[in-house]
Amino acid sequence: MADIRQDAVHKLSHRLSTEFSVIGIEDLNVKGMARNGHLARSVGDAGMRMFRTQMEYKAAMTGSFIYVHPRFAPSTKVCSGCGQWQDMPLQKDTLSCDCGLMIDRDLNASIILKTAASSAVAVCGESVSPAPLAA
């Protein structure tokens, strides 16, 4: 199982770092997630830390820009349409905003991450284009 996971992580990180000039990832608390009895096995099987490590070194080799979204930044609690803060308990999987946007919480978070990564590239003055963007 470990070999299969490692192979999958190598292939995915290679593909992302060669196909995209800007890659946005979240700084997840993997240790904390692993302590959760419901998530522990899934988190361990996903190899999240291994994925981040390989993404960082492969992006450096290919010249891609890695944006790491801060751990405590509210990526799922901010409406990607208008920027309004929403109450989003973990049980809730759809964001409903006053602006009329109804969107899956993970899709909303990926849009927030894409926007933040694009802004980081513009602010840093990187010579990479923010499109295409992997979230």
* In the chain, where the domains are located: 2-134
Query: What is the per-residue pLDDT for 134?
Result: 47
Band (40; pLDDT cuts 50, 70, 90) = low
Using only C-alpha atoms, what is the Rg of the chain? 16
Start-end of H helices in 20-104: 30-35, 40-46, 48-62
Query: What is the per-residue pLDDT for 117?
Result: 86
Q: Report the predicted TM-score, pTM, of the whole model to 2 decimal places.
A: 0.70
> Mean of the pLDDT values across residues 43-54?
76
Query: What is the per-residue pLDDT for 15?
Result: 93
Peptide bond into 89 cis (omega under 30): no
